[in-house]
Amino acid sequence: MVLHLLFIIFFFPYFPLSKSHPLDPLTPSELTIIQQTIKTSNLFSPTPLTFHYIGLADIDKHVLLSWLSNTSNSPPPRRAFVIARSGHQTHELHVDISTKSIISNTIHTGSSFPLLSLEEQIAASNLPFNYTPFMNSIKKRGLKSSEVVCASSTVGWFGEVKKSKRLVKILCFATGDTVNLYARPLEGISIVVDLDLMEILDYTDRFVVPVPVARGTDYRSKKQKRSFGPRGKPVTVVQPEGKGFSIDGHSISWANWKFHLSYDVRAGAVISLASVQEHDNELHRLVLYKGFMSELFVPYQDPAKEWYFRTFFDAGEYGFGLLAASLQPLTDCPVNAEFLDGYYATQNGSLLMIKNVFCVFERYSGDSAWRHTEHEIPGKIITEVRPEISLVARMVAAVGNYDYVIDWEFKTSGSIKFMVTLTGVLEMKGTSYTHVKQVEKDIDLHGSLLAKNTIGVNHDHFLTYYLDLDIDGYNNSFVKAKMKTIKITDGSSPRKSYWTLVKEIAETEADARIKLEAEPAEYLVVNTNKKTKIGNDVGYRFINHGAMAISLLSDDDYPQIRAGYTKKQLWVTAYNMSEKWAAGLYADQSRGDDTINIWSQRNRVIKNKDIVVWYTLGFHHTPYQEDYPLMPSLSGGFELRPSNFFETNPLIKTMPFNNTHWPKRTNNP
């Protein structure tokens, strides 16, 4: 919701410095070339043309990896994939940037639609202010138009058979003495807008409940009354030897890791070619060919007319990258961070920059990467500790009321940790209730009464990652290592039981649809073509760090049909360059016919093949009063941890820091 406003080599030298990379995001000059090439092609004249997605076209993996093995050859051509609207039709275009030519132009014939542009959402949100019935509704609630702001909401799909129009619903709020507009909804009003005609198609005002008061809802520090609550003392990041990472364009090197960081208007951060070495002077081995946030599904749990449609696909409908926030130095990111900017094309193709769309920094929070104290050797006490210093690549997407902090954390142990932090403000519902005693037992609030006239509505967050893993090579396999209890019945041991691992390699996609914690097991991606010196398959395994929820909606509910993959947290599919978006290329008003669970029904062979893992983090959110008027951060994630990828723990070679670099401890009276 937007406010008014081979021959393939997997040991490869990293891309040479001071050159652009084939996976770099589209530059400002390239974005200009793309929009000029399309606009001057006469394909759409005189019909107005609007751009809804412009991004780097996918490069054939074989071509890119082959080139990386010999960068003296010409790099793959720079091409763009564009989704545009003209004459009430959606066009998919491929543009060759170097030749300034359109390679293909295909009309999308499905029932769903592309990303909403910011400009059309703003225009739609302005319409009610020139609409007499709405102005009357404002007066009825004792408000002035200057105190009201409106925002657009996608409408979803609820079983309509005919191809729909491009519609949004408009949600409106009061501001007054607060900027926390979500705490002051204008409940009871429904407004439907046709985006192509840019006019109001339907309007109802079913009921009036008090608009929650502004007092106490403004979260800005200057609006808080003295005195402030207790807090800790400021903490400063010190790096006495300077930064330990380097950024060349979008290529990043740190410790034993190298990877590429790119911006996409839909996905936000895209991590590519993440490769790691075991020891110095060894070649980097590929782990992750490409990874990004594929979709974010947020269904609210209120079936009322004004709420039932709020089942958002934030990446596919609004654009996770489009809504990326400019990161604030010293608050969003520490003092030792470096920043990268992002560029995208607006609805008319003009250029906009998101300053500081990413930050990259080394993190040390006082934790140890490993430690051991040995007491058992007579006359000795031996202690060895190594600090846990990691590298973080961060972005924040401010999607309506929620802010999502997305961290990709690389560790010298060889792990990649994926963390999501939710914060911001709740989407709240107006009510006549002012105390829980007024709520009869058979009344379902679909949430919690947080303040007078204010309900925080129950909802979910399902964040699905696309992970094209190439563990030390092109062909991988998915392994379920089940923990099986073995009973001892022959008297061979005083023990009665133990557990052991029973490993199964998934043959097809049907074997790799996983509901985590359904049974005790570990899940790995391995390369059976590569072995350690003692014969184990090299691989990586998944470790969950909370956020295990799956969807509780019924299978026949329309939002669930559109997001059928959220019934399981982990899917594995055969690599297909066109299968990138968990809820489909076109998410707005989608019907669930182009999703992970649909692709998986093909039941393709995935054993010793190029495979993609889809990992979904899930949060059920029942609001509490501490979430009001703003929400403290809530985090969850998962980790890719090496499992027989290295011969030994690479941390054994990590040298301790020289303690003379650190400030001396003082005893203050």
Domains of the chain: 7-108 (3.10.450.40), 118-223 (3.10.450.40), 245-642 (2.70.98.20)
Q: Is 314 a catalytic residue?
A: yes
What pLDDT was estimated at residue 662?
A: 53
Residue with the two structure tokens 């050859």: 73
What pLDDT was estimated at residue 668?
A: 47
What pLDDT was estimated at residue 18?
A: 44
Q: Is 624 a catalytic residue?
A: no
Look at residues 606, 34, 46, 570 and name the one whose alpha carbon lies nearest to residue 345: 34
- Which regions of the chain are under pLDDT 50? 1-18, 666-669
Distances (CA, A) of 375 to 370, 380, 382, 387: 17, 7, 7, 21
Each residue of 285-300: b (16+ CB within 10 Å) or e? bbbbbbbbbbbbbbbb
Each residue of 50-84: b (16+ CB within 10 Å) or e? bbbbbbbbebebeebbbbbeebeeebeebbbbbbb
- 280 burial level (CB within 10 Å; 0-12, 13-18, 19+): exposed
**What is the identity of the amino acid at 614?**
W
What pLDDT was estimated at residue 17?
A: 41
Look at residues 125, 153, 9 and name the one whose alpha carbon lies nearest to residue 73: 9
Catalytic residue among 218, 302, 314, 537: 314
Tell me the two tokens of residue 38.
């399309």
What pLDDT was estimated at residue 382?
A: 94
The beta strands (E) that lie in 229-310 are given as: 245-248, 251-254, 257-264, 268-276, 285-299
Catalytic residue among 53, 263, 402, 474: 402
- Quote the CA–CA distance of 554 and 566 in Å, as a whole number: 11
- Quote the CA–CA distance of 469 and 419 in Å, as a whole number: 18
- Quote the CA–CA distance of 504 and 514 in Å, as a whole number: 13
What pLDDT was estimated at residue 611?
A: 98
What pLDDT was estimated at residue 460?
A: 98
